[in-house]
Amino acid sequence: MLGEVTATRYITPLREGGSLPGLVEADDLGTYVMKFSGAGQGRKTLVAEVVCGELARRLGLRVPRLVTIGLDPVLGLGEPDQEVQGLLKSSGGLNLGMEFLSRAIGFDSLAHRVSPEEAGRIVWFDALVNNVDRSWRNPNMLVWQGDLWLIDHGATMIWHHNWPGAQASAAKPYDATDHALAPFGPDLASAAAELAPLVTPELLAEATAAIPDEWLEGEPGFDTTDALRRAYAEPLLARAASVHERIKGLDDTAHLKGIQGIQVIQGIKGSK
């Protein structure tokens, strides 16, 4: 299960994301990026963050530690921004927190090189969860203490927005043409050989067990929260074995051009 903390101070909104997450302090003296249950995308965004974050961690990828954050709406009374105040007031109860990585910087392909092996693992994982939000326009990766960390997995597993069509949706290819790591020649074969055998029913049961019941209750078509947890696990288990064969847009020519482009730009910067 996720750790549980209580928000004690709202610090500031983070306006990079569409859901308007905020930076908060908690009663464990930690600082977290909080994603709100009352945000426009709803609780399914929080569920996706938990499933993908906990699955990535178990596969050896770097993701900030996740916690649930109890929020008293009274914290919003002193917030001058009406939009933020409304979000705080509508998110009383349980929210999601992501450990704040102090002094982390956003990933920049011109400044941070990524090995084909690491790029392959990340692209493979994104294909597994159908992450449509790690493009060169919006990488959703941080560099912290020299390492690459993955954040923001709310736009994944799009099939959970339409459970009757989940099986067909989960069988579709993954388009990695615009993936932020496409220029680094992702080694998908090695990633699949390493990671696919790890995606077992037991591993997925662990990851989905971390979802708080109250974010699952009342889902149409499911009698119990455990049945819904199994529904989250089944497409991921089915995709793991062969998803690397259905990743599109990573031909060798594109890799070579991308790498050469990065090298050229780096050379121009270095000569200034």
Q: How far apart are CA 38 and CA 94, in angstroms?
A: 10
Q: Tokens for 253?
A: 């020519």
| pLDDT score, position 265 | 37
Q: Is the dihedral of CA 21, 39, 204, 163 positive or negative?
A: negative
Domains of the chain: 3-103 (3.30.1010.10), 106-271 (no CATH)
Q: Which of 183, 186, 202 is nearest to 194 (CA)?
A: 186
| pLDDT score, position 83 | 87
Going from the C-alpha of 267 to that of each of 226, 254, 260, 261, 262, the distances in angstroms are 54, 20, 10, 10, 9
| pLDDT score, position 75 | 87
| pLDDT score, position 266 | 42
Q: Which of 90, 11, 96 is nearest to 51 (CA)?
A: 96
Longest Cα separation, the chain: 64
| pLDDT score, position 16 | 67
Q: Model's pTM, two decimal places?
A: 0.90
Residues (pLDDT < 50) of the chain are 253-272
113-167 pLDDT, tens per residue? 999 999 999 999 999 999 999 999 999 999 999 999 999 999 999 999 999 999 8
Q: Tokens for 232?
A: 């989250």
CA 265 to chain centroid, in Å, comes to: 29
